[in-house]
Amino acid sequence: MELLYGTSNEGKLLVMRRALSTLGITVTGLKERQRELLPAAETGSALSESARLKAEAYFEAFQALSIAIASSN
């Protein structure tokens, strides 16, 4: 199974790849998709809602199972 992690941060990708590799899940990042995207909006009223919105945007763009983390900035 392949999972798109909605980040370009190599450190975050490394942690997620290590955590999920034993489950047979291959984690890819945004840079590996080789397509320019505008940053996904973090407009939710809570961090969890913003993360869901980002994951949905990446799913729509790439048609791939996606996860994302929202920042608190």
pLDDT value of residue 43:
76
Is residue 44 within 8 Å of 52, Cβ to Cβ? yes
Give the mean model confidence (pLDDT) for residues 1-16: 94
**Per-residue pLDDT tens digits for 17-63:** 999 999 999 999 999 887 776 667 777 788 899 899 999 999 999 99
What's the pTM value of the predicted model, to 2 decimals?
0.83
Instruction: Round to whole Å and give the CA distance between 47 and 21.
Output: 26
Contacts of 12 (CB under 8 A, 6+ apart): 5, 69
Whether residue 73 is predicted with pLDDT greater than 60 in this model: the reply is no
Provide φ and ψ at 38, rounded to 5°: -70, 150
Whether residue 11 is predicted with pLDDT greater than 70 in this model: the reply is yes
Q: Where are the domains of the chain?
A: 2-67
